Structure 1
């Protein structure tokens, strides 16, 4: 193999590694940062300006047994009414994780009154 073929192969390998590393570099975001998921955070302000992307993971940390985090549709987000039952195992654990899909993702606390009090989050992932 000539010198030119070897360097071309190395360039192709380097490009492939760069593409692969970009594909697996999803970010993880903790909702509310150190304050977590509760009634004391403005979630619109928290999410504003963050570069969310499809495949990123969003983590909700909350007081076990007091809150939960439920992925919902647009109408459930607007009405603060959950059609699907919240995962009781998640509620007991105090942590919920979701992978963001491309487009708009909606989350609320399914405990009655909590969403209406501000425990709702809308995230747009590119």
Structure 2
């Protein structure tokens, strides 16, 4: 009797696994790691990270010394503090939800901090988007090219 219950439980678990794929859990990323969001912030901080919808960026910085300002691409590239500001955070302990796929641009809007490297570009992926299709393989080479048929 016990073995039937174990078998039944195994079938239920296997069925659940098959029909409910594992969901990826959201990540909280402390921007700049131990440096935080400061002038010592490493400009390559995001290079080895994969951000997805549902993740959060956590900006830790001395209040009244820095900001987190989300801008559009042109303002980001130019460090244009008067450019298209989308949103600003300034509490010193700010969490930014990555709630949509695409590029997100951030910089510090204090004096010359952006020019000194306090800027962050993240590419946010949609984990539910279909994978891009692979290109078709090239056709095989012509069977007569370069072949010597003499025995």
- Please confirm whether the aligned pair reaches a TM-score higher than 0.5, indicating the same fold: yes
Q: Gaps (5+ residues) in structure 1?
A: none
How many residues were matched structurally? 118
CA radius of gyration, larger in: 2
Aligned to 1:96: 94
Q: Gaps (5+ residues) in structure 2?
A: 126-151
TM-score when scaled to structure 1?
Answer: 0.76
Aligned partner of 2:17 among 7, 14, 20: 14
TM-score when scaled to structure 2?
Answer: 0.65
- How has the CA–CA distance of structure 1 residues 52 and 84 changed in structure 2, closer, same or farther, with 3 Å as cutoff? closer
If each structure's helix is expressed as a fraction of its own residues, which one has the higher value?
A: 1
Relative contact order (C-alpha < 8 Å, sep 6+): which is higher? 1
Q: Give how far 1:86 is off.
A: 5.9
Indicate the RMSD between aligned Cα atoms, in angstroms.
2.6
Q: Give how far 1:10 is off.
A: 4.2
Query: After TM superposition, what 4+ stretches of structure 1 lie above 2 angstroms from structure 2?
Result: 5-19, 82-87
- Cα contact 1:30–1:36 (8 A) shared by 2: yes
